[in-house]
Amino acid sequence: MNAPIKFYQTGTFTVGNRLLSPEQRTVQASPERSNALNSGHRACQGCGEALGARYAVDAAMRATDGELIAANATGCLEVFSTPYPETSWQLPWIHSLFGNTAAVGTGIAAAMKVKGKLGTRVIAQGGDGGTTDIGFGCLSGMFERNDDVLYICYDNEAYMNTGVQRSSATPFAARTATTMAVGSEPGATYGQGKNLPMIAMAHQIPYVATATVADLHDLEAKVEKAMSLHGARYLHVLVPCPLGWGSASHDTIRLARLACETGVFPVFEAEHGEVTSVSKIRRRVPVEEYLKPQKRFAHLFGAHGHPDMLAKIQADADRNIRRFGLIDEVTA
């Protein structure tokens, strides 16, 4: 007798893909996959950025029949994949400066247009530091001109490659090398930081989406959708970093899932500035469950903890749930 497939069986390579019909399987299940980011790179064990990039770029390769060029900002993704003279990339791939990946992507797209290679598509990618801080001006220009580039930000919430310094995507209270866990309000200061997906939406570009490495089918689907469109597109992927977050390597997927289930990281799509879909929370979880396994938040817990700061984080997660309608009213 055929048993119905449960939702949690569909996301994995070993079980879900074999149980699903071929068209529902992930790109990784296909022997035709491009292996865009191949084995042999030097990412840490459990690196969410390596996993996210592997799935995102392979999905983009499938969506474009391999007619893809990538520009890559300086950062962990570039450093662990491309220690000269070696590389793990199996596609035309250009290392830009730390801050100008979006502009390099624009230039490649313009060059392809001039050469009449309209079928060749372009992605630009980088970490949150390269995206929200130093590369922000170039990215905003790419959005404003509606250049034909998909920009993917792999958000591990700090400058990991250079030793975990705070970026403008570092969350409130997180300990980094530059936001120490000391004083009456330890960790990153409250109220600072940028919400890049919402800033991208404010540019009214054709497509903005968020995703995490907890739902790789969803990530692939969003890349595929982005590649079916033209103009400026932005994908913001939450990628836990065991080294910078002080988490166990085997907890990368669990933490990404908890970021969604707490409301800390809303997963949604938006077209031309309007939210068009959200991933609903099936099981609402208090923020403590997400924060506790991460040593960067250890100072919030225990006898000398900071319940007031935890309450602020919970309030922000609750606001996300309200703002994006992440919980259906009947189940709330």
Ligand X SMILES: Cc1ncc(C[n+]2csc(CCOP(=O)(O)OP(=O)(O)O)c2C)c(N)n1
Q: What residue ranges bind ligand SF4 (CB under 6 A)?
A: 43-44, 47, 49, 76, 80, 156, 160, 241-244
Which option in ligand SF4, ligand X, none does residue 223 bind, with CB closer than 5 to 8 A by kind? none
Q: How far is the CB of 160 from ligand SF4 (least distance, A)?
A: 4
Contact 65, 102 (CB under 8 A): no
Please list the residues that pair with 208 across neighbouring strands.
Answer: 234, 270
Closest approach, Cβ 50 to ligand SF4, in A, equals 6
Residues 105-134 that bind ligand X (CB under 6 A): 126-130
CA torsion sign for 195, 135, 233, 200 is positive
CB count in 10 Å sphere of residue 87: 16
Is 159 a binding residue for ligand X by CB under 6 A? The answer is yes
Nearer to ligand SF4, 47 or 69 (CB): 47
Residue 162 is a binding residue for ligand X (CB under 6 A)? yes
Shortest Å distance, C-beta 288 to ligand X = 25
* Piece of the chain touching ligand X by CB under 6 A; list 24-32, 74-82, 180-188, 200-208: 74-82
CA distance 231 to 248: 39
Is 139 a binding residue for ligand X by CB under 6 A? The answer is no
Residues 169, 155: Cα–Cα separation, whole Å: 8
The Cα–Cα gap between 117 and 111 comes to 9
Q: Which of 156, 176, 252, 279 binds ligand X (CB under 6 A)?
A: 156
Which one of residues 64, 167, 210, 262 is an interface residue with ligand X (CB under 6 A)?
167
Residue 129, burial from CB neighbour count under 10 angstroms (0-12, 13-18, 19+): buried
To the nearest whole angstrom, how small is the minimum distance from the Cβ of residue 75 to ligand SF4?
A: 8
The interface partner of residue 125, options being ligand X, ligand SF4, none and the CB cut-off 5 to 8 Å by kind, is none
Find how far residue 198's CA is from the centre of its chain: 14
Residue 147 binds ligand X, judged by CB under 6 A? no
The minimum distance between CB 259 and ligand X, in angstroms, equals 16
- Contact call for residue 242 and ligand X (CB under 6 A): no
Residue type, 304: H
Query: Are residues 13 and 51 in contact, defined by beta-carbon separation less than 8 angstroms?
Result: no
With respect to ligand SF4, which residue has the nearer C-beta, 47 or 56? 47
By beta carbon distance, the residue nearest ligand X is: 127
- What the block records as the tokens of 240 is 């836990």
Inter-helix orientation angle 252-261/48-63, to 10°? 80
Pinpoint the alpha helices (H) of 135-246.
Answer: 136-144, 196-202, 216-228, 242-245
Told to check if 76 binds ligand X by CB under 6 A, we report: yes
**Residue count (the chain):** 332
User: With respect to ligand X, which residue has the nearer C-beta, 105 or 126?
Assistant: 126
Least Å from the CB of residue 133 to ligand SF4: 16
Contact 300, 265 (CB under 8 A): no
Q: Please identify, using beta-carbon distances, which residue of 17 and 167 lies nearer to ligand X.
A: 167
Pairing of strands 274-278, 268-271: antiparallel
Q: Nearest approach, Cβ of 156 to ligand SF4 (angstroms)?
A: 5
Residue 307: C-alpha distances to residues 155, 175, 290 (Å): 26, 16, 15
Q: How far is the CB of 164 from ligand X (least distance, A)?
A: 8
Give 44 or 327: the residue with its C-beta nearer to ligand SF4: 44
Phi and psi torsions of 274, nearest 5°: -115, 135
Q: What residue ranges bind ligand X (CB under 6 A)?
A: 49, 74-77, 98-99, 126-130, 156, 159-162, 167
